[in-house]
Amino acid sequence: MSDLQGPLAPEHWLADLFASRAVARGQVIRRATRDVERYAAMDRFIAEVERRGFCAVENSGQVVIFCNRAPIRRLV
């Protein structure tokens, strides 16, 4: 069985993700779904996104995190 845990503990990976300049500026960040599941577990990731009051969407193997509390409007 292969090791599915990454080199970082989940809390460290999440802390590093949300410490980025884009997050501080209220911008958008993107991560591969497989990385979120591998390094943090999706349920833990979603809990952290909700705790911060952010929104996230998943499409085609990518998770996009809107690092602000503004509403999301789908255009098409």
Show me where the domains of the chain are located.
10-66
Q: How many CA atoms lie within 13 A of 14 on its CB side?
A: 17
- How far from the centroid of its chain's Cα atoms is residue 52's Cα? 11
Looking only at Cα atoms, what is the longest distance across the chain? Answer: 43
Amino acid symbol at 11: E
Among the residues of 1-76, which ranges form H helices?
Answer: 10-17, 21-24, 33-39, 42-51
Taking only the tens place, the pLDDT of each residue in 7-46 is: 679 999 999 999 999 999 999 999 999 999 999 999 999 9
Q: Is 2 in a helix, a strand, or coil?
A: coil
pLDDT top residue among 18 and 1: 18
